[in-house]
Structure 1
Amino acid sequence: MRVYEKRLDVKQHVADLHKQKKSIGFVPTMGALHQGHLALVKRAIDENQVVIVSIFVNPTQFNNSEDLINYPRTLESDIALLSKVSDDIIVFAPLPKEIYGEETKSIKYDFKGLENEMEGKFRPGHFDGVGTVLKHFFTIVSPTKAYFGEKDFQQLQIVRKLVTIEKMSLEIIGCPIYREESGLALSSRNKRLSQKQLQASPLIYKTLNQVKNDFGTKSVKNLTDWITEQFKNNDLLELEYFEIAKVSNLKSIRRKRKDTKYRAFIAVFAGEVRLIDNIALN
């Protein structure tokens, strides 16, 4: 397994791969890898001749400094985990200076309103940071395809818009949410949950499933009120938001319309740990 820290080293290697006309699958991560990440990596291996995985905790997408400090950094174990999948994976694990130079700063993007919905309301500047770091990585790695989990569905839609804005020739692949047996969506942040919080957190997916079951017969207001009630007196889980939105533009809705795809989105705090999830409704 090759592990690179310098962008020039990766660019030189990628240039050789392109001369050989090899397809490159790219899986960007912030490390603390779990089976959800590995599912993305395995799909990338199935669909490409070469796979590159980045491990980089991106400072510009954190609007909470404590969250950035506390985010798990487990590079050695991440590399060991990837090596069990394949020894041929290329790992790019740079320091911030290698990506941003002397000034760690985001580009201001206009994602046509996608950035202002849901996560954007609670994490100002977050998607500028996401767009900025991915522009850097896509430029360095020059992938054929890049793989993202649907747990961060809003991010997935924004990445697709980023590729259009920057006129980049790569395909963005959305992959199904990988869940624990309890239904809890896998996340690197799950490592910070206490045992009691872990036991309580499956309520998030349970309520989403019930919303999906009831979506055809109940109003958006009734579903939203019901979700609020489920978390109202919960000592371990605090609801930050629940919204039902159009898949096309992620705008929340009050009424359903025929021939329109919808998705339910939720964000919940378990202590200081923020958990997000979503589900397709139709």
Structure 2
Amino acid sequence: MQVFREKQPLIQAIQKIKSAGKSVGLVPTMGALHDGHLSLVKNALRRSDQVIVSIFVNPTQFDNPKDLEKYPRNLERDLELLKAETPDIWVFSPNANELYGEHISSEKFDFEGLESVMEGEFRHGHFDGVGTVVKHLFETITPEKAFFGEKDYQQLQIIRKLTDKTGLPVEIIGCPILREESGLARSSRNERLSSQNRIEAAFIYETLTGASQLFGTESASYITNWVENRFKDNQHLKLEYFQIADVETLKKINIKEKGKQYRAFIAAYADDIRLIDNIALDN
């Protein structure tokens, strides 16, 4: 396993393998790796000659400084997990100045409204930070393919929009959500949950599956009210938002249309820990 802390040695190593005709796959992460991340790595290993995992807690995508401070970091454990997959993985783990340069700040992007709904409504500037760090990673690593989990579906669509607008030649591959036995979507934030809250948080996926079943016969407004009432009766979780949206525009729907695809999105708090999830809906 090779671990790169600086851009220039990584760029030189990538140029060497590309000159040999090999393809590069990138798995961007913020560390605190779990089985969900490893499923992305497995996907990348099947579809790329050389897999690079970036481990970088990006400061520009946190609107809450306390959230940034509390974000779990354990590089040594992350490297052990990756090495267990294959010793041939490369890791890029720079500090903020190495990746951003002297000025650590976000670019401003127009994602055509994808950035202003759901997560964007509650986390101002978040997707400018995401877009900025991913753009830096793409320009540095020049991957042919990049792998992102569908748990952060809004982010996935925004990265697709980013490549369209910037012309960066990267194929964006969405990978299925990996879940714990309870149905809870795997997330680095799960490690901060108390044992009781981790059990209770399965209610999120339980609610999404219920919404999916209702979607065949009920309206979006009916399902939204049903979800909100379920959370009112839950003493352990606080609903931030629930929305049924078009998968392309991420706009909230009022009426289902044939031929279009929809997903249900949810964000909720267990104490001060924010959890998100989503599910595809059959029309």
Query: Please, what TM-score do these two structures have when normalized by structure 2?
Result: 0.99
SS at match of 2:151: helix
1:244 aligns with 2:237: no
- What is residue 160 of structure 1 aligned with on the other side? 160
SS at match of 1:264: strand
**C-alpha deviation, 1:256, in angstroms:** 1.4
Task: State how 1:1-282 maps to structure 2 within 5 Å.
Answer: 1-282=1-282
SS at match of 2:103: coil
SS at match of 2:206: helix
Counterpart of 1:160 in structure 2: which amino acid? R
Long gaps (5+) in structure 1: none
Counterpart of 2:85 in structure 1: which amino acid? V
SS at match of 2:115: helix
**C-alpha deviation, 1:103, in angstroms:** 1.1
Inter-partner Cα distance in structure 1 for 2:2 and 2:153: 30
Long gaps (5+) in structure 2: none
Counterpart of 2:262 in structure 1: which amino acid? Y
Counterpart of 1:20 in structure 2: which amino acid? A
Inter-partner Cα distance in structure 2 for 1:102 and 1:196: 43
Inter-partner Cα distance in structure 2 for 1:212 and 1:17: 45
**C-alpha deviation, 1:233, in angstroms:** 2.9
Inter-partner Cα distance in structure 2 for 1:278 and 1:176: 11
**C-alpha deviation, 1:90, in angstroms:** 0.1
Inter-partner Cα distance in structure 2 for 1:211 and 1:8: 49
Poorly superposed stretches of 4+, deviation over 2 Å: none
Percent identical: 55
Per-residue deviation, residues 98-121 of structure 1 (Å, max 9, x unmatched): 011111100000001100110000
**C-alpha deviation, 1:253, in angstroms:** 1.1
Counterpart of 1:260 in structure 2: which amino acid? K
Inter-partner Cα distance in structure 1 for 2:100 and 2:184: 34
Inter-partner Cα distance in structure 2 for 1:95 and 1:235: 40
Per-residue deviation, residues 17-63 of structure 1 (Å, max 9, x unmatched): 11111011100000000000000001100111100000000000000
SS at match of 1:161: helix
Equivalent residue pairs, number: 282
**C-alpha deviation, 1:246, in angstroms:** 0.4
Inter-partner Cα distance in structure 2 for 1:35 and 1:195: 19
What is the RMSD computed on CA atoms of the aligned residues?
A: 0.6
Counterpart of 2:199 in structure 1: which amino acid? Q
Query: Please, what TM-score do these two structures have when normalized by structure 1?
Result: 0.99
